[in-house]
Amino acid sequence: MLVFDPNARVNTDGTSETARNDLSHAIGLETVVKVGSHSGRRTSHHKNDHISLNIEDIRFGEENSFGVSPLTLGIGMTFLHELNHTSIVPSGGTEDKLLHDWDKGPTVVHMNRIRDEISNSGRHRMGARQSYNYRRDENGNVYYPFSDDLLRRVYRRMR
């Protein structure tokens, strides 16, 4: 969302310069990235230059974002995360090859930079994702680790 000041200038307070740069770069290209949605057990994902968002998982994450802003797991942040796997971003897209289950990988590190920039504005507490991996509970709900405690629970569940 763009907010304008009384002089019709964009107010960037509470936003992320990194996210703005990612989107500005993407908009300036002729490459097409297809974006769709799906439901079921698969989380939001990408394949080549196609992004598929799991709206059910996103809504659950927003409603159950303990200690952090619901925006940190919202559609916009999820879209930016998946966009960073495509060829449209300045880095040319990243595949997160993790050495350990608890690694963050380059995409989570990049997204945490965006979260930090938003958090530093004082407008939202976005938190920092502690690992690329997540945990599904017995009902199929997805939990992402934004605290050391949840990271330990995710790791124990994966072993």
SS3 45: strand
Lowest-confidence range among 41-55, 66-80, 125-139, 140-154? 140-154
**Predicted pLDDT of residue 113:** 92
The model carries a pTM of: 0.78
Per-residue pLDDT reduced to its tens digit, 42-71: 777 777 788 889 898 888 888 877 778 888
Q: Indicate if the pLDDT at residue 33 is higher than 60.
A: yes
Who wins on pLDDT, 29 or 3?
A: 29
Q: How far is CA 36 from CA 79, 97, 154, in A?
A: 10, 24, 28
What the block records as the tokens of 44 is 């939001």
Strands 45-47 and 50-54, sheet pairing: antiparallel
